[in-house]
Structure 1
Amino acid sequence: MVHFKSARWKKWLHRDSGSQNIAPPPHQADHCTNDSPASELASAPCASECQFRPRNPPPSQDLWKSAFDLLSREEQNALQISLIPSSTTDALNDVIETTKEKYEIYQEKGGIRIRKSTGEEINIRKISKKIINATLSFQEVISAGVACDPTGHAASAWAIVSLGLTMAKNHSDRRDALFESSEYLAEALARCAYIEKKICHNRSDEDDVVMQAMVTLYKTILQYAAKVMASHNMSTRGKLLDSVTATTVQYITELRCSIEKEEQKLFHFTQLQLLEAIEKITVSLQKQNEKATEEILTAIDDKLSKSLNALNLRFSLPISESAFWNSYQHEDLCLEDTRVQTRSQITQWADSVESECIFWLNGGAGTGKSTIARTVAQSFETKGQLGASFFFKRGEPDRCNAKRLIPTITKELIKQNKDLASGVLKAIEQDPQIAAKDVTEQFNKLLLEPLKSVAMYQSRTLVIVIDALDECENDKEIEKILQFLPRVHQSSNMRLKIFLTSRPELPLRRFFEKEGSHRRLVLEKVAEEAIREDIVRFLEHRFTEIGAQANTGKDWPGNDVVEALATVCIPLFISAATICRFVEQPGDDPVERLADILNNQHRYVTRMDKTYGPILDQTLHERDKNDQEKQITRFKGIVGVIILLSAPLTISALSEFVGIGARSVEFHLDSFHSVLSIPDKKDHPVRILHLSFREYLLTTQSRFHVDAGMMHNNITLHCFRVMSKYLKRDICKLNSFSTQRADIHSETTEKYIPEELRYSCRYWMFHLTQSKPSIPDAEILSFLEKHFLHWLEVMSLMRVLSETLKMMVTLKESIQNNTNPGLSNFLSDAIQFIHRHAQIASVVPLQLYASCLVFTPTSSLVRRASENYHSPWIHALPQVEISWGAYRQTLEGHSDWVTAVAFSPDGQTVVSGSSDMTIKLWNAATGELQQTLEGH
């Protein structure tokens, strides 16, 4: 809503309505004196000097002409040589269109807020709304007020509103003043036009002094317009634009002072009844056009939203939607009055222009790093400071490695600045497979180069939040991420910072010991008393909620119990959270559950024992020895599998995977809501709530210890059982060997490839290499000879065929010391088969049984094992070589001649140099591009 100095008018309206002599209000700004620059803009004597009334007041329709005649010749020339709209109507339309245009530009860059020098932010949408509302609300009045102005000087004043918005585009350091000057001038012009119509066009002899005040006011506005026009004209002839914006800021200060002075005179001589009428009609017109104004801006918002959605569709970047800070609604945030000091330090770092590029928050398991990260991410988002977020999590396919880190961050940053899109699209067009490349190359091509190409547009800092970097399972990827993160500071046109959390693992400690430009906060070094107070607040809050649900009474559990629990938990917030979840678990009295925890603390040694021990032991209560053994076996067969899965499974898929009925699985898991996330929806997976529970089970000396090697062995056998049950040729019943993968709907693959099979096909090799004791070679070979092509078909249908080569290479390397050559020979042949046929199989999966098989050398072990699976309509087989030749694969990526090739001393890496000024490092076994070095 537009406010036309209503506060000042109300001040006059509240005076004694019966008073005949209304004293003028005092000056409202001490700096508006006759000694200020503003005095040159308003040289008319003060009304109180009784010399204000002219002998021959101008007719009302000549007010702007009279004001123009009072200008100096230089000022008149500045206005006359400028490109002024032909009519006031054109000027008003131009203001609206310019405002819409500039609003759209800034909304395209994420709806930015511009910060003043005082630190206060101005909202572009709010200012745009005010300008449009002012123009719409008074369009009829303004047109009537200046329709008889033959020289079009009112139109020139309105043109300055548009000019200010235009100048703001290229002057980020002056945007706040330029935007506000346009807003202020629009309101002043609208206010004056309305007063002119209501007073001067119905004039009496007593109104001459009011008319003279209006002329002086118009003169002030025209002087401002002339100065801005003159400065702008100079800039177009080669003068520095910076000086233009600086003087414009000075002029608007002078204009404010002069308008305030003239309005004081105007209000002094204006009848009280007219002021009341103006106030009422002003409010009425504002409300009347509020909807129209909102519709104009909303139309732009909707247009940009659709444009952004269309843009996203053009991107082939696979992102991890589950890695966003708010992907899971149930995950906790810090209570409002906890972690106050830590959050304050992070906020100050983010807001400071001079602070370091990276803030590293580190601490041991369960100290609350992720909760703090989610909380500050929410705070940054609320303030418009969140650039992107990525929360790593071990055991989550899209979050346990860096494959989707850069694509996810890039897409999120595009929402903040659409100018990034062109650079990102260019990178994708140059290399459509960029999302599958090494994380460093992704960073350089998808993020750094586009960041360098965007124009400077914002004054605020955007923060990228990366949580739990230590849960990235590839140590080499962690090292690469740490190497390139500081380089985001090279993007001078977007102010980016990184908020990073992790455990203090060795690779991270070593890096930050060398990297000087970072700020570090160790959670364990926060004063113990502060941690205790926060844990006490958390426990009090949660027990109040639990007590209210269970009707335990308002005094439960009491201060002594809370203090005792805080002592047990310090410094692990996860301990406090886990105990509370255990106590509130339905089915038992929370008072008794809490008492059990407190009464049995003496039985446990470590803090993790004190947290998880009572929860696990509670499942064995009132069971005899044999029943306890069965319970523990069932626990390891279900929960032991859950903690080691590479991707979480739903209860139904988990049931099929482990071979236990869904009802039994669900019943067993019902006791573990305090340590597992067990969703109500059947299509949502079961997850561990915190990594510390997994680590506890793998290291504890209690009866609940899970042997990792043995459990991986069991999981591998589960994978083989599931794959042997489902795998077959044409599993999706396509009935055509020419069906392309792109034409197969996801509903089809989900129908015929159940979740447990998808998991088994993708992760069996990982579990096999972790198994102790190892799976017998004969068992592995038997599976591959029967189902190798079936497995490749499913991997192609799942769009992850590219993973199979590395899986086979890794498996071959893991069995090199085995005495049985049969499996090793088959794997060597399988690697050759994938090298040769992966491209066609990824496009048309069923060609594995047609062209791929028949064009494979006749001595191939894969071909011999799969003779029964080739396409039935192929009767005449082509002549092919007997064995694989030396050719394996074409390495593609250079854009010019390759001038040098070499192998690393260990034979693991191929290095190629090119005239395109790059050196590329390739994995010699898989052909995978590992790194690109530029600029040699």
Structure 2
Amino acid sequence: MTPTALSDIVLYTFPNNSAEEAPAYIPQRAKGDQQANNAEATTDQDKVIRVRSKLLQSTRQDLLDLERMYLRRFRVSDPQQDKAQIEAIKGGLLEKSYSWILDHPNFRQWRNKQNQMLWIKGGPGTGKTMLICGIINEIEPSTRLSDQDADILLSYFFCQATDVRFNNVTAILRNLIYLLVVQKPSLVWRIREMYGPIDRAPFDDSISWDDLSVIFINILRDLGGTTTYLIIDALDECTDLERLIRFIVGCIPECPHVKWLVSSRETYIIDRFLSSDGFRMGLSIELNNSASVSDAVGTYIDKKVSELKSLQDNDALQERIRHTLRQKTDGTFLWVSLVIQQLQTVGSGDVEAVISAVPTDLQGIYAQMLEQIHKQHNRKYCLLVLTTVTLAYRPLHLLELAVVSGLPPLNTKRVGEFVKMCGSFLTLRDDHVYMIHQSAKDYLYQNYSSLQLAGVAHRHVDIARRSFSAIAMLKKNIYSIDFGFRPEYLDTQPVHPDPLTAVRYSCIFWADHLCHNSNNPECKEALTDDGVVLSFLKTSFLRWLECLSLSRSLSAGVKSIRELQQVVSHQMNSLELTAFLADAEKFIISYGSIIERAPLQTYGTALVFCPKTSIIQKEQWGERLSFIKTVTGVRDHWGELRQTLEGHSGYVNAVALSPDGKTIASASNDRTIRLWDATIGTFRQKLEGHGEWVRAIAFSPDGKMLASASNDHTVRLWDVTTGSFQKLEGHSEWVRAVVFSPDGSTIASASNDRTIRLWNAATGMFQQKLEGHSGWVYAVAFSPDSITLASASFDHTVRVWDTSRGVLQQTLKGHRSPTRAVGFSPDGKTLASASDDRTIRLWDIDTGVLQQTCEGHRDWVRGVAFSPDGQTLASASNDGTVQLWNTATGTPRQTLEGHSDYVNAVAFSPDGQMLVSASDDYTGHTEAVGAIAFSPNRKALASTSVDRTVRLWDMTTGTLQQTLQVQSISAWVTALAFSPNGKVLALSSTDRTVQLLDAVTGALQQTLETNQLLTELAFSNDGQYLNTDYGILGFAETALHEKSPGKDAPDYALSVEKEWVTLGGRNLLWLPHEHRPACAAIYGQTVVLGHRPGGITLLQFNFTDLDRY
């Protein structure tokens, strides 16, 4: 018998691992042979089991590989590799240089007792980093990093001020979290909970501190009582030091099982927190002028002198050198290291002369090193290297250095030689150039004039110019990837050689260099309408975005554009550039999410669907993906809508902006609260706990807490950082509103039980109940003085309360229907109320006199919000709009459209530049267009809408030809079809009928009753009957018999799959939220999308040269 081929094994999973059940999974055709020859059948059975085992092993390995890739993307670097590289650069770790600290009383007390914080402080070069390395080596063997059975965890991070990737709070938390998850893999769910699976996780520069702090604190809680050591070296080199140190100090009482060890120079901020009388859990070890450090430095001198090859056979000279070094040293390891490097370049006869000339402090040594560089023949190139590395925001790859420094065209080997000529200032590791120490960079910056006469500002502009010149030379689709290719695939399939290696730094940092000194004349000249920046953006903007996306740094693009906007806002000769930057900001914010996930959609979705008047579309339309021929049905202007945040699975009832304007909170019928990044719209965190719909939310004035009101009769008080909550109970019906007092001391909640309750915001304790309304209380609002409270009710009134005494001050009457919302002006003098009577009323709060009545909404008004300056009032309505009103006159200023359902709430950002609205249109599909169908000759398209019209569109131009008023349409249209001769339209609807209409006049010819809800219609070729999803439907004779003159178009396997237009399963073009169809029609190379309200998008493709991508 021929062995069963692997292709015959059609099952990839098995119910269990039982070998006895395996024969049931052998293909049927093998059973006869099995009965004829049991021996061979047993052999086949064994083969199946072996194949199954291999498949299961492969699947497990794939999952492990995916998990590792997920964590690699999450981390900034591997802390274990960082530590090994640091030790290697510093010449290895000498045990005697750190062993003294292990016996220090404070160290032993920190490690063995209840003290949770140890601070090692000392000046530059005192060996703090190597002490940290030694301590890690001491602790690690007892942790899971070395022993999987250990019950102790260890995580650490080395800050580096010279590298922007390693000098910030997010990098610290990412790596600390990474190493904890490596030791306890089950903790990875906390990362997934926040960011989702690997294909959707935004692990780039936009990852936020808020997200990370939530993940981090939750992981520390999950560890329970597991002893955990967290170590951070060079804490003072963190750019957001106060935020980090506050966070660490805040973690200490909540997580008693965690021991922190930090090292730093002595700084005011750290000293203020860690040495304060109120901080009882901390210890410190001072390195400056420490006898132990001096002894360790002496040991280090002994070792390094003994390694000098020129002194190997001269013990007496070695001893003299040791003695001299001990006498001259300033007590730092760095001074010794720099002197030894000089001694390594000379013979034994010159050693003593070199030492005698060596200054006794670091500043003097640096000056001497710089003087030696000036004496070199190639000093010009050395100074180009030094100035560039000094001003760079992170260590540069040799190819990056060659691009931005101005060196002549050289290979990496030659560039590396110039780096080595820069003496001991620089070190080279993995083709990246590093400053030897932060103090060296500080010295070079402070003495920059001795490097280059033109000055720092000139050099920054020069680096910027070279950067965008290099970017401009890049080709489109630099990686030769497909239209739907995701950058995370590069984790497993890196491009080699990588064409972005030389320009990656330039893409991210060119604007930072250009704007370093905005008053510099060279900067101002570059940013005029005749300058190089506008020229660069006009020709290379899309390629720049593509490279940023491939580098997972698209957020750097937003930062760069805004940086440029801030500078040019003060220049009168930059009007064209100003307009381009405004367009560019809207372009990135609107389409950044898809560019980030599929870089080539920069030339697809973003360019195709941006407005017709977009400067970028006009300037760079020729850069679109070549298969895109024409597009009609896109908006003319950007409008006010910037972003649509999708994620809730129920109506969104409320929104709130944090006081700093960085976070948006949304509350939904799906029982959750979601937190979003207010700049780029990315999802941050989901708060779960309510048992019913969440009706309202409010941030505390300091932004640390969030209050929510729910149909589950409770108010919940959330810690925004940790996600934990406190439940406030007392209401007996739905809680409809919640608000903090401006001073943060009190929370007010309103309920269907007709009461308002006041709570202590710090403790959550109930304070008092305000009663008086005769109907449900819909809304509450505090005045700026935190004493006066206004409430809106179903009883048509607004009531004003004095919360200090718990008494009613006045009742405002005038609305003819229930009042839904109230809000105070910033000065507290005016109260706005919104009602089901479609009006907003403005009241004088002192007198209760009506000042203005704002009329214009077509349905209930559900929300109001004053702008921070009090001059504008925003209102949200069931008519699907947000209106802006002049508060002085009560007249409308602007109507904001974009929602397709009720708008429930509005909120201004603190600076008044952004308005956020919440709506019931949570699904993303408005279904405003019911159905669409091509005419037989493919020259026209018909669409139906809820407005009882059938619209006929010209397929060539995409313009509306005719609108048929069809009064017989009384229900939602589910399907539409032309007869073969194009004279009759058939449409099915939710009332279970099919109507036959005259395609020219719209007149009803016949109504066919059905017993089913039909969603598919198509005429037979002879026009005698209709094919439906429930079978064939016949009808009386009509003029349907003539043969269609049209010809069938070639089948290109085009389809619309969720948010993508695909070709044979290949993703071609991503559809933005506003263009995702309720229905679609496809013919040949044409796709028609029907969407909100009555809108049609016509996409015409040409796939002639598609395969060249």
Question: TM-score, normalising length from structure 2?
Answer: 0.50
Q: What residue ranges of structure 2 are gaps of 5+ in the alignment?
A: 1-58, 144-151, 685-702, 705-719, 727-1109
How many corresponding residue pairs? Answer: 605
Q: Aligned equivalents of 1:760 and 1:747: distance in 2?
A: 24
- Tell me which amino acid in the other structure corresponds to 1:592: D
CA shift, 1:656, in A, is 4.1
- Which residue does the alignment assign to 1:789? 542
5 Å-filtered alignment, 1:154-233, equals none
Deviations 1:779-821 (A, max 9, x none): 1111111100011111122232233223222332233222222
Deviations 1:395-425 (A, max 9, x none): 4353232333323222322344445345554
> 1:470–1:502: 8 Å Cα contact kept in structure 2?
yes
- Which residue does the alignment assign to 1:598? 356
1:569 aligns with 2:329: yes
Match for residue 77 of structure 2 among 321, 329, 333: 321
Cα 1:594–1:788 shift into 2, 3 Å: farther
Q: Aligned equivalents of 2:78 and 2:72: distance in 1?
A: 18
CA shift, 1:634, in A, is 2.6
Cα 1:421–1:367 shift into 2, 3 Å: same
Match for residue 412 of structure 1 among 164, 176, 179: 179
5 Å-filtered alignment, 1:423-442, equals 423-429=190-196, 433=201, 440-442=209-211
- Tell me which amino acid in the other structure corresponds to 1:857: P
Match for residue 365 of structure 1 among 124, 149, 153: 124
CA shift, 1:311, in A, is 4.7
- Which residue does the alignment assign to 1:650? 397
Q: Aligned equivalents of 1:875 and 1:668: distance in 2?
A: 51
Match for residue 855 of structure 1 among 602, 606, 609: 609
Match for residue 468 of structure 1 among 234, 245, 257: 234
Q: Aligned equivalents of 1:395 and 1:872: distance in 2?
A: 43
Match for residue 508 of structure 1 among 252, 270, 289: 270
Cα 1:831–1:427 shift into 2, 3 Å: closer
Deviations 1:368-418 (A, max 9, x none): 211111111111113336611111113435323233332322232234444
1:873 aligns with 2:627: yes
Q: Aligned equivalents of 1:710 and 1:863: distance in 2?
A: 34
Q: Aligned equivalents of 1:416 and 1:910: distance in 2?
A: 32
Identity level (%): 21
CA shift, 1:574, in A, is 1.0
Q: What residue ranges of structure 1 are gaps of 5+ in the alignment?
A: 1-302
> 2:448–2:456: 8 Å Cα contact kept in structure 1?
no
1:674 aligns with 2:419: no
CA shift, 1:928, in A, is 8.7
Q: Aligned equivalents of 1:426 and 1:923: distance in 2?
A: 20
CA shift, 1:767, in A, is 1.7
- Which residue does the alignment assign to 2:142? 383
Q: Aligned equivalents of 1:920 and 1:738: distance in 2?
A: 28
Q: Aligned equivalents of 2:305 and 2:488: distance in 1?
A: 53
5 Å-filtered alignment, 1:513-662, equals 513-514=275-276, 516-521=279-284, 523-527=286-290, 529-546=291-308, 548=309, 551=312, 553-559=314-320, 561-585=321-345, 588-589=346-347, 591-592=349-350, 595-599=353-357, 601=359, 607-621=361-375, 631=379, 633-658=380-405, 659-660=407-408, 661-662=410-411
Cα 1:770–1:568 shift into 2, 3 Å: farther
Q: Aligned equivalents of 1:699 and 1:388: distance in 2?
A: 35
- Which residue does the alignment assign to 2:643? 889
Cα 1:824–1:360 shift into 2, 3 Å: farther
- Tell me which amino acid in the other structure corresponds to 2:582: S
CA shift, 1:543, in A, is 0.8
Deviations 1:258-307 (A, max 9, x none): xxxxxxxxxxxxxxxxxxxxxxxxxxxxxxxxxxxxxxxxxxxxx99999
Residue 888 of structure 1 aligns to a residue whose secondary structure is coil
Cα 1:405–1:895 shift into 2, 3 Å: farther
1:829 aligns with 2:583: yes
5 Å-filtered alignment, 1:37-52, equals none
Range with bigger deviation, 331-340 or 852-861: 331-340
Cα 1:505–1:807 shift into 2, 3 Å: farther
Q: Aligned equivalents of 2:280 and 2:590: distance in 1?
A: 48
> 1:854–1:878: 8 Å Cα contact kept in structure 2?
no
CA shift, 1:579, in A, is 1.2
Cα 1:564–1:737 shift into 2, 3 Å: same
Q: Which has the higher contact order (CA 8 A, sep 6+)?
A: 1
CA shift, 1:888, in A, is 0.1
- Which residue does the alignment assign to 1:690? 437
Q: Aligned equivalents of 2:110 and 2:364: distance in 1?
A: 37
> 2:329–2:361: 8 Å Cα contact kept in structure 1?
yes
> 2:169–2:209: 8 Å Cα contact kept in structure 1?
no
5 Å-filtered alignment, 1:696-715, equals 696-700=443-447, 703-704=450-451, 707-715=455-463
- Tell me which amino acid in the other structure corresponds to 2:176: I
> 2:110–2:117: 8 Å Cα contact kept in structure 1?
no
> 2:420–2:426: 8 Å Cα contact kept in structure 1?
no
> 1:535–1:570: 8 Å Cα contact kept in structure 2?
no
Residue 806 of structure 1 aligns to a residue whose secondary structure is helix
Deviations 1:822-870 (A, max 9, x none): 2222111101011111122223322222332121112211112213212
- Which residue does the alignment assign to 1:446? 215
Cα 1:591–1:366 shift into 2, 3 Å: farther
Q: Aligned equivalents of 1:337 and 1:314: distance in 2?
A: 39
Cα 1:526–1:744 shift into 2, 3 Å: closer
Q: Aligned equivalents of 1:867 and 1:422: distance in 2?
A: 43
- Tell me which amino acid in the other structure corresponds to 1:470: D
Range with bigger deviation, 895-904 or 787-796: 895-904
Cα 1:744–1:452 shift into 2, 3 Å: closer
Q: Aligned equivalents of 2:63 and 2:599: distance in 1?
A: 35
Q: Aligned equivalents of 2:653 and 2:305: distance in 1?
A: 70
Cα 1:652–1:539 shift into 2, 3 Å: same
- Tell me which amino acid in the other structure corresponds to 2:389: I
5 Å-filtered alignment, 1:128-139, equals none
- Tell me which amino acid in the other structure corresponds to 2:347: D
Residue 859 of structure 1 aligns to a residue whose secondary structure is coil
CA shift, 1:572, in A, is 2.5
Q: Considering only CA atoms, is the larger Rg found in Structure 1 or Structure 2? A: 1
Question: TM-score, normalising length from structure 1?
Answer: 0.58
Cα 1:716–1:851 shift into 2, 3 Å: same
Deviations 1:678-734 (A, max 9, x none): 24xxx5312122111111111138734794433322221221221122x23222234
CA shift, 1:429, in A, is 4.0
- Tell me which amino acid in the other structure corresponds to 1:770: H
> 2:470–2:503: 8 Å Cα contact kept in structure 1?
yes
Match for residue 481 of structure 1 among 224, 232, 244: 244
Residue 501 of structure 1 aligns to a residue whose secondary structure is strand
- Which residue does the alignment assign to 1:403? 170
> 2:170–2:208: 8 Å Cα contact kept in structure 1?
yes
1:813 aligns with 2:579: no
Q: Aligned equivalents of 1:481 and 1:336: distance in 2?
A: 31
> 1:392–1:468: 8 Å Cα contact kept in structure 2?
yes
5 Å-filtered alignment, 1:143-154, equals none
CA shift, 1:639, in A, is 1.7
Q: Aligned equivalents of 1:904 and 1:425: distance in 2?
A: 25
CA shift, 1:341, in A, is 4.2
> 1:361–1:522: 8 Å Cα contact kept in structure 2?
yes
Q: Aligned equivalents of 1:921 and 1:746: distance in 2?
A: 30
- Tell me which amino acid in the other structure corresponds to 1:519: G
Cα 1:748–1:340 shift into 2, 3 Å: closer
